[in-house]
Amino acid sequence: MILSTKGRYGLKAAFELALNYGGGPVSLKTISSKYNISENYLEQLLAKLRKQGFIETVRGVNGGYMLARKPEEITVGMILRALEGEMTPSDCLSGDVCTRESVCATRVIFEQIEKGINNVIDNTYLGDMVRQNSKVMQEAKLL
């Protein structure tokens, strides 16, 4: 599995906040019970997103989490990288040693895989996900 629960849970939570964008804070309990994720664990993931400026919090009664920016300004890649670290298939792309000589050919592959992934996650915004979702929900209603 390429993504750990960090990325998967965190993206779900971020999406939930995007769904509720503009409607006040959403509590941890609400999210964790809706997606069936451990409350304390999710809290740690959301803390990471907060420290990196993607979400804001309101403490106290009726408090909770909310996106710090518009859903149209946050990409899936930003969320995943904040939680999982850089999405690179090989450290040989992180500019270390690379003895060249034949290794190069595998390096090219790693670069292409990386591009393939980035192409998706850097071009999809939380706002896109919300739109996509409402479309799916509408279609479901027609059945």
Binding site for its own copies (CB under 8 A): 1-3, 7-8, 11-12, 15-16, 19, 34-36, 76, 87-92, 99, 102-106, 108-110, 112-113, 115-117, 119-121, 124, 129-130, 132-133, 136
Among residues 61 and 137, whose Cβ is nearest to its own copies? 137
Using CA atoms, how far apart are residues 21 and 131, in angstroms rounded to an integer?
13
* Cα torsion through 79, 84, 85, 86, rounded to 10: -80
Q: Say whether 60 sits in a helix, a strand or coil.
A: coil
Residue 50 tokens read as: 């907060």
Give Cα separations from 28 to 17, 25, 113 (angstroms): 11, 10, 35
Using CA atoms, how far apart are residues 121 and 99, in angstroms rounded to an integer?
30
Q: Can residue 97 be called a binding residue for DNA (CB under 7 A)? A: no
Q: Can residue 119 be called a binding residue for DNA (CB under 7 A)? A: no
Size of the site for DNA (CB under 7 A): 27
| x-marked contacts with DNA along 25-64 as a string, rule CB under 7 A | xxxxx-------xxxxx-xx-xx--x------xxxxxxxx
Query: Which residues of this protein are in contact with DNA, per CB under 7 A?
Result: 4-6, 25-29, 37-41, 43-44, 46-47, 50, 57-65
